[in-house]
Amino acid sequence: MTLESASTAFRSLGLNSGDIVELHGSLKAIGLVSGGPNTICDALLKVLSHEGTLIMSAQYSTNSDPAHWEHPPVDIEAFKAIRESHPPYTGKSTYLAWMGSLAQTLQLKDLTEFSDHPSMAVMAYGKQSKWVTMDAPLTPAFGLDSPLHKAIQLKAKALLIGVDYDRLTGMHVAEALSKKRPYTIESATVVHNGRNKRIKFLDYDYDSDVFKVIGTEFEKTHQVPTIKLGNATCKLIDLSTLHEFTLTYFKEHL
């Protein structure tokens, strides 16, 4: 893949200037890309133009309560030390260990904006980036007026490159609004009055495992444009339509 061939592929999929896109992707799934993750991000930004907006998750997953960690779990004896020592989320300078090279590339661009949630942040680049990321609620992280709820309001599209629906963070908005999940006690480090402070808060116990099933059901009744981007299956999904479908699924099946 090159910048030009990737741009052509994105246009053939249905992306246009001015679109708002939530991206989730695997560079490895594509295969050989001349220029690496920068090429894919730049191709997308070229197609969206200055009128569009590119959105990606910027989750700082370790800034959470260690009692909930599973990959890997930690001994209970370490909980206190982790809670007391974990650094806060700082946007551009925080290492996003689990987000992948495409997210890490967008993170480093000069004009990328960040929401300030301590563990479930979102970053955006483009015309709507400041509005999408500003005034993000602490809890629910994916509830009303959260960055991804705003993306749905803006009629955003979701772009999956070599990944499945279980990676589509925007589906958590329907999960939160359905109120079908139990609450859990979370904790995270934040900056308060210039000093690090550990806070506790309630949020839903989010679980994306069911998203693959929902995606399969969604595609039975909704058209989802699909192409190959190198070796990766690439899908473009109307996020607001998927949101309504997911919300109905949660209310009827959970």
**Pairwise CA distance, residues 203 & 140, whole Å:** 5
- Identify whether 240 is part of a domain: yes
Residue 84 resides in a domain: no
The tens digit of pLDDT for each residue in 6-65 reads 999 999 999 999 999 999 999 999 999 999 999 999 999 999 999 999 999 999 999 999
Q: State how far the Cα of 152 lies from the Cα of 146, in Å rounded to an integer.
A: 10
Domain-embedded: residue 201: no
The pTM (predicted TM-score) of the whole model is 0.96
Half-sphere exposure of 41 (CA within 13 A, CB side): 21
Say if residues 58 and 121 touch (Cβ distance below 8 Å): yes
Q: What's the whole-number mean pLDDT along residues 190-218?
A: 96
Q: Which domain holds residue 34?
A: 3-65+94-179+208-253
Under the banding of pLDDT at 50, 70 and 90, the label for residue 71 is confident
The answer to whether residue 158 sits within a structural domain is: yes
Q: Is the pLDDT of residue 72 over 90?
A: no
How many separate domains does the chain show?
A: 1
Pick the closest to residue 129 from 67, 34, 54 (CA basis).
Answer: 54
Domain-embedded: residue 80 = no
**Separation between Cα atoms, residue 222 and residue 249, nearest integer Å:** 14
Residue 154 to residue 145: CA distance in whole angstroms: 12
Name the nearest CA neighbour of 22 among 141, 179, 154.
154
In a domain, 203, yes or no: no
pLDDT at 254: 86
Q: Strands (DSSP E) along 36-173, which ranges? A: 53-59, 113-114, 120-126, 157-161
Spell out the long-range contacts of 204-210 with Cβ–Cβ below 8 A and sequence spacing 24 or more: 204/140, 204/142, 204/175, 204/176, 205/181, 206/141, 206/142, 206/172, 206/175, 206/176, 206/181, 207/175, 207/181, 208/166, 208/167, 208/168, 208/171, 208/172, 209/166
Q: Give tens-digit pLDDT for 215-233.
A: 999 999 999 999 999 999 9
149 domain-assigned: yes
Q: Which percentage of the chain shows pLDDT scores above 90? A: 97
Residue 136 belongs to a domain: yes
